[in-house]
Structure 1
Amino acid sequence: MKFFIKVMKALSDPNRVKMTKMLQHKPMCVCEIQTALGIAQSTASKHLKILEDADLVTSFKDGLWVNYGVADGSASPFAANMIGNLKHWLEDEREIKELNKILPNIDRHDIVNKN
């Protein structure tokens, strides 16, 4: 039951649900996620750590970048079930629709060059 609760708690925060939904579309770095959600980088990183600990998200290095993506679900049947269902859930929600519109325009290179 402990791991089931961990998965459910990880998805109990609206920003973590949004992150999971965004990562279903493409792998993203912290700065892209931060920009999309309008939150601090430290906040985005903390949320990603919670999602990763629940096996909902994975991280992988790509040169200097650390990318995050949706996990394949092999580590936990609870995480696999939620990942599978989230692909179909919430697509009609206003906030998710808005994120889906802006995602193609968010690029890490543009973000880094602004700073």
Structure 2
Amino acid sequence: MKNLLLFLKCIADENRLKILKLLLSGPYCVCQLQELLDKSQSSISQHLSYFKGLDLLNERQSSKWTYYSINRNEYDKYLADLIALNSKSLKELDLTDLEGKLKNLSAAEVIKNDGETIRSCCN
């Protein structure tokens, strides 16, 4: 769960989302990303550090340049974790404290979906 949150925080930034989109299509060096995003070298490097921290980058050296692309294996794992969020139990997500609170939830009104009681809701 913690790594999924870090991934979501990483891509929640507009510039990092743009970088992600670019790097999914192929390798770019920092100077190319600078030009495309109209950002400084330090800004691009800082954004890339978020991806590095999550092991989302492949790096390839070519003379004095480093070209970055997305590590599809890791990226796909994060996407799979996000998709699986619906099917995992609170226990599997290490949210047992929330599970206990749900069991003790008291409320006044009943929420219904197609006539079936789902849960109660407070006033």
Q: Does residue 3 of structure 2 align to residue 41 of structure 1?
A: no
Question: What pairs with 1:1-115 in structure 2 (closer than 5 Å)?
Answer: 1-74=1-74, 77-78=77-78
Residue-pair matches, total: 82
CA deviations 1:47-72 (Å, max 9, x no partner) are 01101212332222122111100112
Identity across matched positions, percent: 30
Gaps of 5+ in 1: 83-115
CA deviations 1:23-63 (Å, max 9, x no partner) are 12220000000110001110000001101212332222122
More helix by share: 1
Gaps of 5+ in 2: 83-123
Q: 1:81 to 1:32 in 2, by over 3 A?
A: farther
Q: Aligned partners of 1:48, 1:74: CA distance in 2, in Å? A: 15
The AA in structure 1 aligned to 2:4 is F
Q: Aligned partners of 2:80, 2:32: CA distance in 1, in Å? A: 25
TM-score (norm 2): 0.59
The AA in structure 2 aligned to 1:68 is Y
**Higher gyration radius (CA):** 2
The AA in structure 2 aligned to 1:28 is Y
Q: 1:75 to 1:13 in 2, by over 3 A?
A: closer
Q: Aligned partners of 1:68, 1:80: CA distance in 2, in Å? A: 23
Q: Aligned partners of 2:22, 2:75: CA distance in 1, in Å? A: 21
Higher normalized contact order (CA 8 Å, seq sep 6+, divided by chain length) = 1
More strand by share: 2
Q: 1:79 to 1:68 in 2, by over 3 A?
A: farther
